[in-house]
A = this chain, B = another copy of it.
Amino acid sequence: MRDRVPAAIVTVGTELVRGLRLDTNTAEVASALWITGYDVAETVSVPDSVDAIARTMSRLVDTYPLVVVTGGLGPTHDDVTREAAARALSRPMEREPSLEKALLTRGPGHTDPQARAQMLRQAELVSGARPIAPSVGTAPGQVIATGTSTLVLLPGPPAEMRPMVREFLGSGHHAAHVRTLRCLGITETDAQLAAQAVLGNSPGIGLTVLATPALVDVVLFDEGADDPALDEAATRIAAALGTACYSTDGSTLAETVLAHARSTGDRLATAESCTGGMVASALTDVPGASDVFAGGVVAYSNDVKTSLLGVPPSTLAAHGAVSEETALAMATGALGLGATCAVATTGVAGPTGGSPDKPVGLVWIATASRHSQGTAREYRFPGDRTGVRARATAHALDALRRALLVP
């Protein structure tokens, strides 16, 4: 294994340790550090308390050559990371005139003296710190060399933090030595056993399998292996996983579907009942989706299924909204949006609306296409409303992917 430099990450915020807010900064900084050649050994969240932050900083700068802290650099009363760093390192704080000037120029023009004084707290530097100018927002970052460690303070809002992470890590970083094989329709254990069977005891290749309710990622990373060895292992494992593996280059399922459609010259549309717009959202989340995505109908009521998608009222009456026949009619109707390949979802997401005959979790997914006869498949998804909708969305995208594979 190439020598990675140990590092730690601290995220600051009472809202984090109380569970009021999900911490996304840790994952984002961790990923940037890994790619740049660091090995994050520990991540910690602490409340907005000078004591707690200072104690954690002291422990970590004594242990790791790099400690990155996010949060608590803003103007409000509970932003105390600056004070904590000063205390942890036994250094004074200094008001930096150039930062003060930048704040008065860039910041919101507070006429209220209290708001103005609060805002100017952001010009306080731990003595000896190098400031990182903000490209978004007003709070500067700080890089502090302690002698044995580097302590980096970054603002908490992700949009403000992100450009600073890039700045202090520099652009001359190692390339990532990770391969991700993304799968759907296979269990975590089966994916792991399949990958292990291929790897045997390949030295130098690490394996992690990550599962969400609908998706399974097989992640290979270097523990000494070089790029060609990783590529070769990824290719062989992808072959073993078969059509369950939808991407080997890190693309999401939606990105894969759009790329397929671009290459086949297809134009896509969606007709959603139980997923309520999530399939269209996932597709349009990808930049440039408008090339191949015409649009969709969220057909929540039966009237909309009939008026916009042309589902015959007799079909709804005879088979119900959650049925193979309705799913097929919805998909066929969605071709009318100017599409050559369309997917439809209709199901019982819960928690109410289930019956012995059509329980919560029952979902029909259908595709219609210029390539072939329409097809529909029944699913019985476990989980609550959120889980059923997430699984139905993933399988709807996968149904589109498979429909586009048919020549």
Q: Is the pair A28, B20 in contact by a Cβ cutoff of 8 Å?
A: no
Q: Is the pair A44, B44 in contact by a Cβ cutoff of 8 Å?
A: yes
Whether, in the assembled complex, A170 has its beta carbon less than 8 Å from a beta carbon of chain B, the answer is: no
Rounded to whole angstroms, the CA-CA distance of A18 and B30 in the bound complex is: 5
Q: Is the pair B298, A303 in contact by a Cβ cutoff of 8 Å?
A: no
The interface centre, meaning the residue of A17, A74, A76 with most chain B CB atoms within 10 A of its CB, is A17
A263-306: contact bitstring with B at CB < 8 Å (1 yes, 0 no)? Answer: 00000001010011111110111011110011111111101100
A44-57: contact bitstring with B at CB < 8 Å (1 yes, 0 no)? Answer: 11111000100010
Whether, in the assembled complex, A188 has its beta carbon less than 8 Å from a beta carbon of chain B, the answer is: yes
Q: Is the pair A288, B42 in contact by a Cβ cutoff of 8 Å?
A: no
Binds B, one of A94-102, A112-120, A226-234: A112-120
Binds B, one of A146-154, A235-243, A367-375, A381-389: A381-389
Majority SS of interface residues in chain A? Answer: mixed
Whether, in the assembled complex, A405 has its beta carbon less than 8 Å from a beta carbon of chain B, the answer is: no
A187-225: contact bitstring with B at CB < 8 Å (1 yes, 0 no)? Answer: 111001100100000000000111101000101010000
Residues of B close to A167: CB separation below 8 A: none
Residues of B close to A42: CB separation below 8 A: 17, 44-46, 52, 56
Whether, in the assembled complex, A157 has its beta carbon less than 8 Å from a beta carbon of chain B, the answer is: yes
Rounded to whole angstroms, the CA-CA distance of A387 and B137 in the bound complex is: 14
Q: Is the pair B276, A298 in contact by a Cβ cutoff of 8 Å?
A: no
A243-274: contact bitstring with B at CB < 8 Å (1 yes, 0 no)? Answer: 00000000000000000000000000010100
**Identical copies of this chain, number:** 2
A290 (CB) vs chain B CBs: closest residue: B300
Interface size on A, as a range, is 35 or more
Whether, in the assembled complex, A26 has its beta carbon less than 8 Å from a beta carbon of chain B, the answer is: yes
Between A and B, 20 residue pairs with Cβ closer than 8 Å are A15-B219, A19-B26, A20-B208, A20-B210, A20-B219, A22-B24, A26-B45, A42-B46, A44-B45, A76-B188, A115-B193, A136-B382, A159-B213, A272-B277, A276-B284, A285-B389, A294-B304, A295-B301, A295-B308, A307-B338
Binding site for B on A (CB under 8 A): 14-24, 26-34, 40-48, 52, 56, 74-78, 108, 112, 114-115, 118-119, 136, 157, 159, 187-189, 192-193, 196, 208-211, 213, 217, 219, 221, 270, 272, 275-281, 283-285, 287-290, 293-301, 303-304, 307-308, 336-338, 350-353, 382-383, 385-387, 389
Given contact pairs A23-B27, A42-B44, A276-B284, a sample of 6 additional A-B residue pairs in the complex whose CB atoms are under 8 Å apart: A19-B30, A19-B40, A22-B22, A22-B27, A74-B188, A76-B188
